């Protein structure tokens, strides 16, 4: 006895009776020209529930029989949907009651959903045509496991939403093919991975998931996009757009120069990616102190300058002159070698200055054989140019126009010593230094009153250790000085005047030597 509600169309009579009987735990037997209906044999069921833990072994147990037994032993309120039918088979041992029941039903093609204090058992959402290879499980309402092949993205989202019991709003249809395998991944992380590489994204607002097209021109943009102001602490904001990777569209980043910041707007994943990328490039840049000393010495005094390989005695030594070249010799031989190299490289010294270096400089100055032209210090950021200009500006006049109406013009001549230095600090603490030097001075005034400028330049790129000094030499200048002493009146007589005068001609050859020492500043000191 009992009641039945069913709708069948164009189904053979025998099959219709069999369906009705099986759905109600009955068995249909055909005998000759008649049918016998009897109660079906109950499946095997062993069920034990202790302290909200379940141990169960079921074999071909009708779903309603299993639910009735669970309700009696656990006190759970369970409602079976009319669409849920068939038998249950499976075994669980000492697992959480709700999770165990959910897993057991899922393995038999059924869903368990909790609303308030009532559990509902139902069939999954009807598959769309063409949907294949779909296996999705959500445990504890927040961990997703799935194994899908050529599955529809919308179907996967439906399964996750149903099993996780989440509130979800879709802006338009969600379509696409996905192949993925995830094991016990958090819900938000799983959604991020599923939508990654697609045109869709999601945003969580007050436990409601908003899903739609992530394009800023899409109708869903106002609901899915957000904005964040990201300040920069160590680099200029206008450098950021040119450094952005392809995953972060430049159109989503705007400069706010007044605050040295960038405003990023877009979906949450774009904003998050931009923030993480900016953190990787917004790091403190090392500062480098450039110490330069420009010394002009007579050629005769260069032999006395104590920095010549750091040696003043002909002691035998063994040291590296330049990278990859080792040389064993006495001090005189090393000095000769350095002189030879200097003629080609304009470099005389690479190393640390000896402690008594400054004493030699002062000694040569006191003898009149050297003159310190400048000793500037300047600090710069890593990779930025430091410029030092020690010079003067002189003016000369030119005349144009007519004799009656001359036009005078003043022109400037810029001369002196110019240094341009760019340091690059490596992760190993070495400093690659780009050096450009220019030395110019007024040589003479030509016949037409125009100045003649003597200019000497040198350029090099060299790798130094912190506090190591490079010396640039070979900037040589020759000058002639002619002086005449005579007896007044008699010395001015043509030809005979030479008998009453004394003429002295001297030639002076000087070399300009530039010492450059970069030091890495740490916390404002070095």
Alpha-carbon distance of 126 to 103, in angstroms, equals 19
Per-residue pLDDT, 502: 67
Higher pLDDT, 423 or 219: 423
- Quick check: helix, strand or coil at residue 24? coil
Instruction: Check if CATH label 3.55.50.30 holds for domain 47-213.
Output: yes
Cα 211 to Cα 74, 172, 225, 293: the distances in Å are 38, 9, 11, 66
Cα 34 to Cα 4, 15, 31, 41, 118: the distances in Å are 21, 14, 5, 21, 43
At 309, the pLDDT band (50, 70, 90 cuts) reads very low
Higher pLDDT, 232 or 31: 232
Distance of CA 351 to the CA centre of its chain: 35
How large is the average pLDDT for residues 83-101?
Answer: 85
Beta bridge partners of 262: 230, 255
Q: Measure the CA dihedral 419/424/428/430, to 10°.
A: -10
pLDDT above 60 (res 489): yes
Cα 94 to Cα 75, 98, 239: the distances in Å are 18, 12, 60
Structure tokens at 337: 């070698």
Is 47-213's fold the same as 227-281's?
Answer: no
At 61, the pLDDT band (50, 70, 90 cuts) reads confident
Q: Is the pTM of this model over 0.75?
A: no
Alpha-carbon distance of 346 to 462, in angstroms, equals 12
Enclosing H/E stretch for 356: none
Residue among 95, 127, 48 at smallest CA distance from 104: 95
Supply the DSSP string of 407-452, one letter for each residue: EEEEEEEEEEEEEEEEEEE-TTS-EEEEEEEEEEEEEEE-TTS-EE
pLDDT above 50 (res 494): yes
Sheet (strand 253-256) strand order: 226-231, 261-266, 253-256
Higher pLDDT, 515 or 86: 515
Q: Is 257 exposed, middle or buried (0-12, 13-18, 19+ CB in 10 A)?
A: exposed
Mean of the per-residue pLDDT values of the chain = 77
Lowest mean pLDDT: which of 200-209, 228-237, 239-248, 491-500?
A: 491-500
Residue among 379, 324, 323, 347 at smallest CA distance from 459: 347
At 314, the pLDDT band (50, 70, 90 cuts) reads very low
pLDDT above 50 (res 312): no
Is the alpha carbon torsion for 61, 66, 68, 72 positive or negative?
positive
pLDDT > 90 fraction of the chain, expressed in percent and rounded:
11
Alpha-carbon distance of 164 to 202, in angstroms, equals 16
Show the DSSP H helices in 174-300 as ranges: 187-195, 221-224, 240-243, 268-281
Helix 153-164, helix 187-195: angle, nearest 10? 170
Q: What is the CATH number of domain 227-281?
A: 3.30.1370.120
Per-residue pLDDT, 161: 86
How large is the average pLDDT for residues 415-420?
Answer: 88
Which span out of 113-127, 292-306, 314-328, 400-414 was modeled with the highest average pLDDT?
Answer: 400-414
Enclosing H/E stretch for 512: strand 501-521
Enclosing H/E stretch for 64: helix 63-74
Cα 475 to Cα 245, 268, 348, 455, 511: the distances in Å are 47, 61, 11, 9, 6
Alpha-carbon distance of 357 to 355, in angstroms, equals 6
Q: Pairing relation of β-strands 167-170 and 347-351?
A: unpaired
- Residues 131-172 have pLDDT tens digits of 445 678 887 778 888 888 888 888 888 888 888 888 888 888
Cβ contacts of 133 within 8 Å, gap of 6 or more: 147, 148, 149, 150, 151
CB atoms within 10 A of CB 122: 17
Alpha-carbon distance of 255 to 10, in angstroms, equals 70
Kindly list the domain boundaries of the chain, sorted by start residue: 1-41, 47-213, 227-281, 290-521
Alpha-carbon distance of 443 to 301, in angstroms, equals 23
């Amino acid at each position: 006895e009992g009641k039945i509600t069913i709708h069948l169309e164009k189904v053979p009579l025998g099959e219709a009776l069999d369906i009705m009987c099986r759905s109600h735990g009955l068995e249909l037997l055909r005998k000759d020209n008649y049918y016998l209906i009897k109660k079906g044999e109950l499946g095997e069921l062993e069920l034990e529930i202790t302290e909200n833990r379940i141990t169960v072994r079921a074999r071909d147990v009708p779903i309603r029989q299993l639910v009735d037994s669970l309700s009696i032993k656990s006190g759970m309120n369970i409602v079976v949907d009319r669409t849920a039918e068939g038998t249950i088979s499976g075994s669980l041992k000492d697992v959480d009651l709700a999770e165990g029941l959910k897993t057991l039903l899922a393995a038999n093609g059924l869903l368990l959903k909790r609303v308030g204090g009532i559990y509902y058992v139902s069939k999954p959402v009807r598959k769309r045509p063409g949907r294949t290879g779909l296996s999705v499980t959500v445990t504890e309402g927040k961990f997703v496991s799935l194994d899908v092949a050529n599955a529809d993205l919308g179907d996967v989202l439906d399964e996750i939403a149903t099993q996780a019991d989440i509130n979800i709003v879709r802006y338009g249809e969600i379509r696409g093919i996905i192949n993925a395998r995830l094991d016990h991944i958090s819900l938000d992380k799983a959604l991020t991975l599923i939508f990654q590489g697609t045109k869709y994204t999601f945003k969580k607002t007050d436990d409601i998931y908003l899903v739609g097209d992530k394009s800023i021109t899409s109708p869903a943009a106002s609901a899915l996009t957000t904005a964040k102001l990201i300040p920069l602490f160590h680099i200029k904001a206008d450098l950021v757009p040119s450094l952005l990777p392809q995953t972060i569209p430049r159109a989503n980043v705007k400069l706010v120069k007044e605050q040295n910041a960038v405003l990023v707007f877009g979906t949450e994943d774009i904003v998050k990616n931009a923030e993480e990328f900016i953190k990787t490039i917004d790091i403190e840049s090392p500062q480098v102190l450039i110490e330069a000393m420009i010394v002009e010495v007579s050629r005769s005094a260069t032999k006395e300058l104590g920095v010549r390989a750091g040696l003043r005695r002909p002691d035998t030594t063994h040291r590296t002159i330049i990278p990859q070249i080792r040389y064993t010799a006495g001090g005189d031989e090393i000095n000769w070698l350095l002189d030879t190299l200097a003629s080609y490289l304009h470099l005389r010294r690479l190393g640390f200055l000896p402690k008594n270096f400054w004493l030699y400089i002062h000694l040569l100055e006191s003898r009149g054989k050297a003159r310190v032209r400048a000793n500037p210090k300047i600090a710069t950021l890593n990779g930025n140019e430091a410029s030092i200009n020690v010079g003067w500006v002189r003016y000369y006049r030119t005349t144009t126009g007519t004799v009656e109406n001359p036009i005078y013009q003043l022109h400037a001549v810029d001369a002196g010593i110019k240094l341009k230095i760019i340091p690059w600090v490596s992760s190993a603490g070495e400093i690659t230094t780009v050096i450009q030097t220019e030395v110019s001075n007024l040589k003479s005034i030509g016949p037409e009153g125009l100045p003649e400028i003597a200019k000497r330049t040198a350029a090099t790129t060299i790798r130094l250790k912190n506090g190591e000094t490079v010396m640039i030499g070979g900037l040589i200048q020759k000058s002639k000085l002619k002086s005449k002493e005579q007896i007044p009146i008699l010395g001015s007589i043509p030809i005979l005047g030479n008998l009453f005068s004394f003429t002295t001609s001297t030639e002076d050859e000087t070399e300009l030597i530039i010492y450059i020492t970069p030091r890495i500043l740490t916390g404002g000191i070095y």
